[in-house]
Amino acid sequence: MAHHVLATPVTEAQVRALRINDTVTLEGTLFGIRDANQIALFDKGRETRFDLNGHAAMHTAPNVRRVEPSVEHPTGYAPMCVGTTTSARMERFTRPLLEKQGVRLIVGKGGLGAGSLAAFGERGGAYLAVIGGTAALETTWVEAIEDVDMDDLHPESLWKFRVRGFGPLLVAMDSHGGSLYAEVETRARGNREGALSRLGVVK
Amino acid sequence: MKVDLRQVEDAARELYVRALKVLPPDIKEAFARVSRAESDSTAKSILGTMIRNIAVAEQTDNLLCQDTGIPIYSVTIGRGVEVDGALLKDAIRSGCARATKEHSLRSSVVHPITRKNEQTSCGPGVPPIHIDFSDHPDELVIEMVPKGSGSENNSWLRMAIPAEGVAAIKTFVIDCVLDAGGKTCPPTIVGVGVGGTSDLCVALAKRAATRPLGSACADAEGAKLERELTEAVNMLGVGPQGLGGDTTAFAVHVEIAATHITMNPVAVNMQCHSARRASATFTPRGVAYGF
């Protein structure tokens, strides 16, 4: 259960070194991805001017405030409340995200499925769990919104955040076939019968 | 008592912002309770982070969660209240849009077919505004719930049949919790609707999911069922965020309605750990905010 401080972008070797139950703190750039911008990228063939190679992308659509563009807020957006959304809806985008955009780390909550786990193994990727519903705390780890693309999809734009001490995040899926979600689900389904028998449900 | 619609609009605005920033005391107390009892170290640490977030939101005057949800308003009108119902709905809708624009909240609401976001948290039929009546003289209550999608995307209805009995209800709840896993942002409040018609059954589940913790179903059989289900659900080990542990649900809540002799419907709707709600009570003395 090692702790890793990772400055983005990261190499395949750095990601291969991550194992489930390790923790990670991210430094540098974190991209914000979401349903609408991934539908645009992968279903509608839209391009982005961002280079996501080796980067971390978080499932998010933040609350932002429009401000006068400045050195601190070059996009004219100030981060107000940045948290994570449920990853499961975006399961089918994991593979194209890794293969077409070169993303290495996905930050989200609730976990991804077997298809994503296979893609992490083949490409060298990992899933970092951030605690869903703790956005006020996470916002304190976001320094600025550096850039934004596809803003016509607002708030589901493609966001580029500058982060500092973003974490600790839990490595919940790694590139070696490990998934905490799958482990917990198997255990929980194993407890189904006991729960039903406590409820007096006789099969 | 005459109700000033400008005050209603202001309250609708205020309620949305308040609900997003401050958790009700019953939820905070539940966090302290489950955190003490949790035996799994990862789960305990996750619960600790959630508790810290509640404090950070209050200290920084920020939203608890990025998901501003679908805003839901429920109005209860007392006996002596004079109000134009149509204008009341307009005022609530305006207040909701003002909260979104003025506070700069994320509008999480889109047209279901075009997916167009009006950036007002409003759209056709949204916010849903439920109207009910009470025998309180001179009191109008507006309750507001911003319902997040992580939990709302895991909602179920099953039209079981009488021959399957209460076992069908119990089995269904257990299986819904297993299917939801970490997607609903556990620890959740699991709302179960039992009986009624299909639409009433789903509405009961939502009412149950958004009931304050510590409250019990008014029906004795429903209250017994929710106690049993609370214990059984927490035997599963799904845990906070679906990462394992003792704390899968703060509680299972049941609401019931009579049903047809040939029917046995059950619905499940969940509320995430950020179980946000706020209320405003209008009396001749003014407006009082609470939960």
- DSSP codes joined into one string, A133-190: T-HHHHHTTEEEEEEEE-GGGTTS-EEEEEEEEEEEEEEEE-TTS-BHHHHHHHHHHH
The reported pTM is: 0.96
User: What is the phi-psi region of residue B140: left when phi exceeds 0, alpha when psi lies from -120 to 50, beta otherwise?
Assistant: beta
Over 80: is that where the pLDDT of A61 sits?
Answer: yes
Of A66, A154, A172, the CB nearest to B243: A172
- Does residue A97 contact residue A33 with C-beta atoms inside 8 Å? yes
| Residue range A170-177: mean pLDDT, rounded | 98
Least Cα separation, residue A63 to chain B (angstroms)? 5
CB-based contact B50 A131, cutoff 8 Å: yes
Same domain, B183 and B129: no
What's the whole-number average pLDDT of chain A? Answer: 96
Q: Check if A112 contacts B (Cβ < 8 Å).
A: no
CB-based contact B185 A36, cutoff 8 Å: no
- Nearest by Cα to A71 from A161, A146, A139: A146
Same domain, B249 and B205: yes
Element (H, E) at B176: helix B165-180
Same domain, B215 and B284: no
Same domain, B100 and B131: yes
Proportion of chain A above pLDDT 90, given as a percent: 98
List, as ranges, residues 38-57 from B with C-beta within 8 Å of A: 42, 46, 49-50, 52-53, 56-57
- Does residue A121 contact residue A176 with C-beta atoms inside 8 Å? yes
Q: For A125-156, how does the pLDDT look when each residue is reduced to its tens digit (9 = 90+)?
A: 999 999 999 999 999 999 999 999 999 999 99
Give me the CATH code for the A3-198 domain, please.
Answer: 3.20.130.10
Dihedral sign, Cα of residue B186, residue B189, residue B193, residue B199: negative
The answer to the question of residue B44 being in a domain is no
Over 90: is that where the pLDDT of A203 sits?
Answer: no
Same domain, B255 and B112: no
Same domain, B181 and B208: yes
Query: Which range is least confidently modeled, A74-78, A187-191, B95-99?
Result: A74-78
Q: For A97-124, how does the pLDDT look when each residue is reduced to its tens digit (9 = 90+)?
A: 999 999 999 999 999 999 999 999 999 9
What φ, ψ does residue B97 adopt, rounded to 5°?
A: -65, -40
**Residue ranges of chain B with per-residue pLDDT less than 50:** none
Q: Report the b/e string of B13-22 with b at 16+ CB within 10 A.
A: bbbbbbbbbb
Same domain, B98 and B156: no
Chain A, chain B: beta-carbon pairs less than 8 Å apart: 176
Instruction: Point out which residues pair with B281 in neighbouring strands.
Output: B141, B288
CB-based contact A195 B53, cutoff 8 Å: no
Same domain, B175 and B251: yes
Of B42, B66, B239, the CB nearest to A82: B66
The answer to the question of residue B31 being in a domain is no
Same domain, B123 and B232: no
Spatial separation of the C-alpha atoms in residues A65 and A74, rounded to whole Å: 13
Of A85, A172, A184, the CB nearest to B239: A184
Spatial separation of the C-alpha atoms in residues A192 and B249, rounded to whole Å: 15
Least Cα separation, residue A33 to chain B (angstroms)? 14
Q: Report the b/e string of B252-261 with b at 16+ CB within 10 A.
A: bbbbbbebee
CA-based nearest residue in chain B for residue A22: B42
| Residue B156: domain span | 149-271
Residues in Cβ contact with B74 at an 8 Å cutoff, skipping those fewer than 6 apart: B129, B130, B131, B132, B142, B143, B144, B145
CB-based contact A199 B65, cutoff 8 Å: no
Q: Indicate the domain borders of chain A.
A: 3-198
Count helices and strands in chain A by DSSP H and E runs: 7, 9
Whole-number pLDDT of residue A202: 75
| Residue range A168-191: mean pLDDT, rounded | 98
Of B107, B150, B171, the CB nearest to A110: B150
Same domain, B162 and B104: no
The answer to the question of residue B257 being in a domain is yes
The answer to the question of residue B42 being in a domain is no
> Which chain B residues are Cβ-neighbours of A60 within 8 angstroms?
66
Element (H, E) at A30: strand A23-33
Task: State how many domains chain B has.
Answer: 2
**Structure letter (DSSP) for residue B105:** P
Least Cα separation, residue B243 to chain A (angstroms)? 6
Same domain, B126 and B176: no
List, as ranges, residues 40-59 from A with C-beta within 8 Å of B: none
Same domain, B206 and B249: yes
| Residue range A17-33: mean pLDDT, rounded | 98
- Nearest by Cα to B53 from A136, A130, A188: A136
Of B56, B232, B273, the CB nearest to A195: B232
The answer to the question of residue B53 being in a domain is no
Least Cα separation, residue B76 to chain A (angstroms)? 29
List, as ranges, residues 58-77 from A with C-beta within 8 Å of B: 60-66
Torsion of Cα atoms, A55 then A58 then A61 then A63, to 10°: -90
CATH number of the domain within which B139 lies = 3.30.1330
